[in-house]
A and B are shown apart, each in its own frame.
Chain A
Amino acid sequence: MIERLKQINPVFLVLALLFVAIAILSPYFLQPTGYMNFLKRAAPIAILAVGQLYVINSGGFDLSAGALVTLTVIGSSILLDGDASATWWVVLVMLGVGVIVGTANALVVSWLKVPSIIATLGMMITLSGVALTWSGGAPRGYLPENFRFFGRYLIKDVPLIKILPVAVIVMVIVCAGMWWLMHRTNYGKRLIAMGDNPKAALLAGVPLTETRIIAFVVSSVSAVIAGILLGGFAGVSTDVGVGLELQAITAAVIGGAQLLGGRGTVGATIAGALVLQAMFTLLNILGFPKPIRDVVQGLILISAVVIAGYRRRRSGG
């Protein structure tokens, strides 16, 4: 029994403990509006974290995700300019931008042999510059209601749970798709093989460049989707994406993903994102100001890596 408990990823236990603590401190979270709003706020970071997991499992980092979130919100608001009939093509254009950014990241890493942390850092600075130039540095434009539907709308009068945010549905569908690709297809096996040992994977016939392109494209498209949710949640904002890439990496690491690749699951990464959001919520309820959350995020990132390393040595993995 105890042996079996040890097999469970500790992230799930931490998550359960945090939920209990929050519920005791604020009974609001036991009501459907409480926990559904919690999930709604966690949805973008969960999607981003799972997208990031693809790149982490391939053995890299995607630091450009947060800047792409900002670019999505700014770009959408300027392209739309309040015109609801343009929403569909603007969403498609932004997803296309995600595919282009992801492909560019992967090709710079594969062809130019630039380490992904530098390649995506360059992309992050570039995208921030594009967003800043495009917007003139101040929030402009306006997001119409049908664009904001994904991030803001609540389906009311649902049996049992009363309300169901559309953002939570988006999170479930997107994360289910990414789970399937990672854990139920040959692509997922190739990705993890590549992250674990690229040379062995290459000798075994894994097409490294193609595998990497798909991983980076999944990450960038997840950033665009997160951007659509965040823009929908609160409207136009010029720094909505700042620091999100680090939150996504933190969430994946809390979920037990191994930096530099080869080990990490979608389910544990989602749990990691929820742990992060629950931690922020708990600190807020306790009355800590925002900057303290950054300190805590840093501390739990380091702790998570230490604990994961300890567990691997114990299990001989």
Chain B
Amino acid sequence: MINKFTATALAALVVALPAQAQNFDDPVEFAKQKDMLGAAANGDAETPWLQYYGDVMADTSAYKKDGPHTICFSNAGVNNPWRVVGWNTMQAEVERHDNIADFVVTDAEGSDDKQIADIEDLLAGGTCDALIVSPNTTAALTPAVEKACAQLPVIVFDRGVNTDCPVTFIKPVGGYGFGIQSGEFIAANAPEGSDVLMLRILPGVDVLETRYSAAKRIMEEAGLNIVGAEFTDGDRAKTKAIVEDYIQRGTQLGAVWMDAGATSVAAIEAFEDMGLEVPIVTGEDQQDFLQKWQEIGLNTIAPTYPTYQWRTPILAALKVLDGEAIPGPEWNLPQPAITSDNLGDFVNPSMPPLHYAACGCEDMPGYPERWGGK
């Protein structure tokens, strides 16, 4: 109850601020992402980090420049395993290109203020031919990105900004897509009318809010009973305790929906340790979850927010500096979901437990050691 109250209060706060006004349950965006999931992406399916939906391209002939280039990157941080995998992947991508003379990187360590200063420093340095930005938060970084746009081609990826001045904004299909994939699986596979527990990391983050609203909408329409939506802070101990509490109350959970996979294994363990059969527990492409899934033979799904999207900004920057048109102002990459059918393609016990399998990094320099594998 308190959680719901806090979430509502936070949502109200977000809506009350005009600059940050965002609707996390937008039927238009929901439909757009649902269509993308059903559509075929353009390009070679072997290199999903270069695929895109639709045919709207950004003209970049004005940015054409002779190489070799200096590419600059303002990173929000490497403060979670997803970003660690992505960052390793991006560095490997840079190594593949001889016409990148210099790759200048700043790490904002999760701070808006530091990232704004970082971008100013990069611009003042005057050596960047193109700037890649992975914003820490959407609203706070918008003015800094707008300033950069006036000086050089900017490519934004992962989280967005509230301006269309960058050449392109690279991201997978999106949060609604993630929620649609897992929501539809539960709607089709959980016992009819059964109880579903929704576990979320924290409120207020757009890519997580949209995952939640999409899945909730689908599961409610399918007649499932959402017994609770609880925040775990991405904490295993909290996750396990919450699931155990629901079990102890006598709730027969037909499924546990997760907005991210970091604590899926903890939710599974709660059932195991109480001697119960594990129901559907959704996850993501972390190796620990995939291996557990294979080991105990779950019936579940793992939507991904693929880390191969960290390859795309480097490739996009080089295309822009060659004056080659790229998808823009939005570049949506495919967002595959792992199912029991293709699980074997992604499980790899020689990679670390928190490695994200959809990294598209298997053919890259330094694989697997660079990603902590053996």
Contact = CB atoms under 8 A, between A and B. Distances in A.
A290 B250 CA distance: 17
A137 B110 CA distance: 10
A289 B248 contact: no
Contact of B235 (A82, A163, A237, A285): A237
Contacts of B235: 139, 237-240
A26 interface: yes
A206 B240 CA distance: 46
Contacts of B248: 26, 28, 281, 284-285
Contacts of B275: 33, 163
A190 B240 CA distance: 42
Given A138-B80, A285-B248, A285-B249, A37 B274 contact: yes
Contact of A234 (B110, B245, B269): B269
The size class of the interface chain A forms with chain B is 20 to 34
29 contacts: A26-B250, A33-B275, A37-B273, A37-B274, A82-B352, A137-B110, A138-B79, A138-B80, A139-B234, A139-B262, A140-B81, A163-B275, A234-B236, A234-B239, A234-B240, A235-B236, A235-B237, A235-B266, A236-B236, A237-B235, A237-B236, A237-B238, A238-B235, A240-B235, A284-B248, A284-B249, A285-B250, A289-B1, A289-B3
Given A26-B250, A239-B233, A284-B248, 15 more contacts: A137-B79, A137-B110, A139-B235, A139-B262, A142-B353, A142-B354, A230-B237, A234-B236, A234-B237, A234-B269, A237-B238, A239-B235, A284-B245, A284-B249, A289-B3
Contacts of B16: none
A233 interface: yes
A287 B237 CA distance: 20
Contacts of A138: 79-80, 234
Contacts of B274: 33, 37
A291 B234 contact: no
A297 B222 CA distance: 40
Interface residues of B, number: 32
Given A140-B81, A289-B2, A154 B273 contact: yes
Contacts of B2: 289-291
B266 A234 contact: yes
A278 B205 CA distance: 36
Greatest chain B CB density within 10 A among A28, A237, A291 is at A237
A142 B355 CA distance: 11
A136 interface: yes
Greatest chain B CB density within 10 A among A41, A137, A290 is at A290
A230 B115 CA distance: 36
B241 interface: yes
Contacts of A284: 245, 248-249
Nearest to A135: B79
Interface string A148-178: 0000101000000001000000000000000
Interface string B63-105: 0000000000000000111000000000000000000000000
A19 to B, nearest CB: 15
B250 A237 contact: no
Contacts of B241: 234
A237 B352 contact: no
A236 B275 CA distance: 22
Interface string B226-258: 000000011111111100110011100000000
Interface in A155-214: 163
Nearest to A231: B237
Contact of A233 (B233, B240, B353): B240
A162 to B, nearest CB: 9
A227 to B, nearest CB: 11
Contacts of B273: 37, 152, 154
A32 to B, nearest CB: 9
A238 B238 CA distance: 10
B79 to A, nearest CB: 5
A272 to B, nearest CB: 21
B244 to A, nearest CB: 8
A35 to B, nearest CB: 12
Listed from nearest, the 5 A-B pairs whose CB atoms lie closest are: A234-B237, A237-B237, A235-B236, A234-B240, A237-B235
A109 B1 CA distance: 43
A313 B238 CA distance: 42
Contacts of A237: 235-238
B148 to A, nearest CB: 27
Interface string B263-280: 001100100011100000
A26 B246 CA distance: 13
B9 to A, nearest CB: 14
A152 B269 contact: yes
Given A234-B239, A284-B249, A136 B79 contact: yes
Contacts of B240: 233-235
Interface in B1-49: 1-3
A291 B265 CA distance: 25
Contacts of B1: 289
B348 to A, nearest CB: 14
Contacts of B288: 142
Given A33-B275, A139-B235, A82 B353 contact: yes
A300 B232 CA distance: 27
Nearest to A142: B353
Contacts of A41: 244
Interface string B204-233: 000000000000000000000000000001
Contacts of A28: 248, 250
A180 B339 CA distance: 55
Contacts of B80: 138
A261 B269 CA distance: 41
Contacts of B353: 82, 142
B264 to A, nearest CB: 11
Interface string A267-297: 0000000000000010011010111000000
